[in-house]
Structure 1
Amino acid sequence: MKRDYKKKLIMGGNGGFSLIELMVAIAIVGIVLVSLSAVFERSGRLYTTQNVSAALQEEVRAAVEIIAREARMAGFDPLKTGDFELKTATSTHLRFTTDLNEDGAVATTGFPNCERLSFRYSAAQQALQIVCNEGGAGQDIQVLIGNSDTLVTAVDFAYRDNDGNPTTFVNQMRSMVITLTAEAPAGRTGMIERSYTTWVDFRNMASNAAYN
């Protein structure tokens, strides 16, 4: 007996999908693709945020450490001339002289051997500046941190006396707490913000003739 394959195919057999089954399959595939796309998007956003966050934290920390390193030498006056001391000490502006070459004269020839140094916050530029010979001839201003991507949102220099108490009197200052806050764009996450704080001693103040 011959099997009528042609008749079976016309009448619809077991080998194929109906239109409804095909539509359901397409819908399921679409849902899976949308879910995968969302997962990849979240992963990419997290990766970008983590990278920007790490880079920003390092940039802020490096800027604070530069301030701390220079501030430790503030008022260094080995020849006891009385010309090397803290000149300005506010919450956003630190200016001092230091006798780096130990010759008793203030060198203002520029970086990197400048002996009249300032750190100041520019709110207009949202940047922290380092300045050699501020207000004098040959004044040299450089941006320590702050550009088109990284914006400095806050700077705080808080000063302490010999007992660690807050003070606003320059002749009593023996240390300072430096806090710097900045933000940077992290793609679709938007702006992220990071801060760094450190404590630095003014090593030379206790023995400086200008403070005794």
Structure 2
Amino acid sequence: MRMSLKNNNGFTLIELMVALVISSIVMAGIFSTYQTQLRSHLTQQSVVDMHQNARAAMYVMKAEIQMAGYDPTSRADSTVLVATDTSFQFEIDANGNGDCNDGNEVIRYALNGSDLGRATGTAGTLQPMAENIDAVDFVYFDSDMNRVDPAAGTLTEKDLASIRLVQVSIVARADDPVMAYKKTDTTTYKNSLGDTILSAQNDTARRTLLSTSVWCRNMGM
């Protein structure tokens, strides 16, 4: 007795090709969405890292600049040593022994390539404390809020000793070579007085400007 099989026909070649095409389209869509989400995540993480990097650097700078001129024994003659638009060096008698010859008692901040550098000692080498910094700017004021301007000429010891307020600005850059959403940066970055500290070169980098005012509470004491 023969048994007949019903519906024993397989898929035709056309049906297989149609299924393959549909599957390819779906997989391509999934991959494209995944790639977009991944690039967006990497971009956002890079921007977050940029802000954290800049804020951490600013926090350290502010804490140390506030101590400029610290001289608990009145024998160390702690003061400001260098004050330019891009470099600031000052003294702190941190251990109160009457001099500023110990470690971390002479501190300098300046831009070193693409890093914000910090040096200790009168001739110390700048060590990176924050990466991907495009600009750092310092503005100085005396106790009457008159600007102590290095551009007006070489500052004398009296000028340096008169500094009471320092406004610090830094421009940080996101370290991300493949931004998900590219945007040409044409921004002109300025300090609180409106002076230009960086003109972007029409690139696709993302940047942020942070500024703070630091009262040097120990200067003139």
TM-score after normalising by structure 1: 0.74
Q: 1:163 to 1:28 in 2, by over 3 A?
A: farther
Matched, 1:143 2:144: no
SS in 1 for 2:45: helix
Offset at residue 84 of structure 1 (A): 1.2
Q: Which letter does structure 2 place at the counterpart of 1:121?
A: L
* 5+ long unaligned stretches in structure 2: 150-158, 180-203
Partner of 1:177: 167
> Which protein has the bigger helix share?
1
Identify the residue that residue 118 of structure 2 maps to in structure 1.
130
Q: Highest CA radius of gyration, 1 or 2? A: 1
How far apart, in 2, do the equivalents of 1:166 and 1:31 lie? 65
Equivalent in 67, 90, 93 of residue 96 of structure 1: 90
Q: Give yes or no for the alignment of 1:196 onto 2:221.
A: no
Shift of 1:198: 2.1
1:158 corresponds to which residue? 139
> How far apart are 1:191 and its partner, in Å?
4.8
SS in structure 1 opposite 2:211? strand
Q: 1:48-79: per-residue Cα shift (whole Å, max 9, x none)?
A: 22222222321221111111111101012233
Following TM superposition, by how much is the alpha carbon of 1:16 offset from its aligned partner in structure 2, in angstroms? 4.5
> TM-score, normalising length from structure 2?
0.71
Of 72, 87, 95, the match for 2:81 = 87
Q: Secondary structure at the match of 1:84?
A: coil
Give 5+ residue unaligned stretches, structure 1.
Answer: none
> 1:82: how far off?
7.0
Measure the CA separation in 2 of the matches of 1:14 and 1:196: 74
- The answer to whether the Cα contact below 8 Å between 1:93 and 1:120 also exists between their aligned partners in 2 is yes
Letter in 2 for 1:87: L
Contact 1:91 1:156 in 2 (8 A): yes
Aligned residues: 188
Aligned partner letter, 1:79: T
Task: Give the share of equivalent positions with the same residue, in percent.
Answer: 28
CA distance in 2, matches of 1:23, 1:163: 83
**Alignment partners' CA distance in 2, 1:202 and 1:67:** 12
| Counterpart AA for 1:119 | Y
Letter in 2 for 1:83: D
Alignment RMSD, CA only?
2.9
The whole-number CA distance in structure 2 between the counterparts of 1:162 and 1:93 is: 21
